[in-house]
Amino acid sequence: MNERINFLKQADIFYRFSASQLEMVAGICHEQTFQMGQDIVEENSASNELYIITQGEVDILVNPALVGGPGSEPRQVTVATLRRGQSFGEVALVDEGLRSATVRASQKDTRLLVIPRERLMLLCESYPPLGYRLMYNLAADLAMKIRNTDLRIRGKLLYDRPE
């Protein structure tokens, strides 16, 4: 349990959580290990879990062919690599929609803390200060990821234009 709490302390999404709040979250999560090349979640699949990386790295991959267009052939493109302390699956906490990307372990023995949405939402409802802090951190994390994506898109549009 102490090891889980220490990992949660390092995760951006649990920034400024009290010791008791971290303990409550640690009590609802479990750990999973993935090997290099193993998919954790697949794009367009249903999933309702939040993941915190405790060891290793994961690649975030998207298939551009899913939006169609001429010459669209199925392939996966790495759009980001996440490391220890980072999280993914935040959008599933908000809308319970399909996964927007495939997440694949990019190192051997990649360890994750897995937090089921239902249990986390129950915790948020039972302890409003915890829920407020989580949603605040979640919004900040998603805003940072959106800004980063926006910069990448702008760079692509600026530098990859045909002459």
Reading the block at residue 5, the tokens are 């709490």
* 3-state secondary structure (DSSP) of residue 78: strand
Read out DSSP for 10-77?
A: HSGGGTT--HHHHHHHHTT-EEEEE-TT-EEE-TT-B--EEEEEEES-EEEEE-GGGG--TT-----E
φ, ψ (nearest 5 deg) of residue 73: -120, 140
- What pLDDT does 106 receive? 97
Q: Quote the pTM value.
A: 0.85
Farthest-apart Cα atoms in the chain, separation:
58
Residue 29 pLDDT > 70: yes
Query: In the chain, what are the domain boundaries?
Result: 2-159
- What pLDDT does 129 receive? 96
Residue 136 pLDDT > 70: yes
- Among the four given CATH numbers 2.60.120.10, 2.60.40.10, 3.40.50.720, 3.30.70.141, the one describing domain 2-159: 2.60.120.10
pLDDT one-digit tens code per residue, 35-92: 999 999 999 898 889 999 999 999 999 988 766 655 566 678 888 899 998 999 988 7
- What pLDDT does 71 receive? 57
